[in-house]
Amino acid sequence: MIKIGIVGGTGYTGVELLRILATHPQAQLTAITSRKEDGLPVAEMYPSLRGHVDLAFSSPEKAKLTECDVVFFATPHGVAMAQAPELVAAGVKVIDLAPDFRLQDVAQFEKWYGMTHTCTDLLKEAVYGLPELNRAAIKSARIIGNPGCYPTTMQLGFYPLLKAGVVDAGNLIADCKSGVSGAGRKADIGLLLTETSDSFKAYGVSGHRHTPETIEQLQYMTSEKVGLVFTPHLVPMIRGMHSTLYARLTKDLTNEELQALFETAYKDEPFVDVMPFGSHPETRSTRASNMLRLALHRPANGNTVIVLVVQDNLVKGSSGQAVQCMNIMFGLDETTGLKHVPVMP
């Protein structure tokens, strides 16, 4: 059994980790930290976990995290890099769901997150936790920077095109929408039901923290300089993400050849579903699952290819992907504990 600690178990990504790991056959939940909720049974905060998680929250000082095999950080930025050195020195693997170990460019991290990176030595060895692209490196990693939700859709959507060199890498467009849970579990007027219901808006249009992360990773896929216009939107639903990606073709390919690029790239991937050309994937088709679905379109058979990508922002976009990485790190079947069928309706 894998002894697991979770730092920051009270937020949406934390409770999603608990939901997944509670039925994971090789997971032993050992410690769940929350300074504010120290001593409170987890099931009192989240009744959905009654009968599945018997632990109580404990303050970080009381939790014996160095006795765990792996510790997940479901915390704001800055927490993981402060605690990771002690854990890694004790032989504990670290999976950070926040951005502390995503960006290798320290200057970009400090610009977008407004703090000094205090763990640059570990950052250099951190592996970006996107299994479909970094599986071999994840397997031997001590520390994982779990991808952001939007970046996951953009990278898996653009990857086959950039790898094949068939699109203009300097003019990529991503028009993305997320459910409200992507903003986290917090008291914020802008996230109230009366504020978000019956409304739709863009945000971060002039700049978003996920842009440098995505560009850094896309750049590994091509020798061309990557240019990305990324616009996120908030939609009035709890969970789910839909990204519409646009790229200009630079080679004359048939629709069948375009489809083959994606089917070949993801033919052995258990959590990427390449749908038939011209399909319209829906967010509800991935709800509460670790599945990402995508489909290709080519309006009027012109030189623009559109990739539609959907996922659950809390699962494949966050906690499910983190567990997928854990499975790889500990030599388990990658799908262990993650074979949830999407919830319908």
Q: Is 149 known to be catalytic?
A: yes
Beta bridge partners of 249: 167
**Residue 254 and residue 232 in contact, taking contact as beta carbons nearer than 8 Å:** no
Kindly list the strands in the beta sheet with 304-311, ordered across the sheet, starting from the edge strand earlier in the chain: 201-202, 228-234, 172-178, 241-248, 304-311, 292-297, 272-274
Gap between the Cα atoms of 71 and 82, Å rounded: 13
Residue with tokens 């299994």: 131
* Strand ranges inside the chain, DSSP E: 2-7, 27-33, 70-73, 93-96, 127-128, 143-145, 172-178, 201-202, 228-234, 241-248, 272-274, 292-297, 304-311
Residue with tokens 């978003």: 208
Six token digits for residue 295 = 């489909």
Of 68, 119, 149, 176, the active-site residue reads 149
Give catalytic residues, as residue numbers. 149
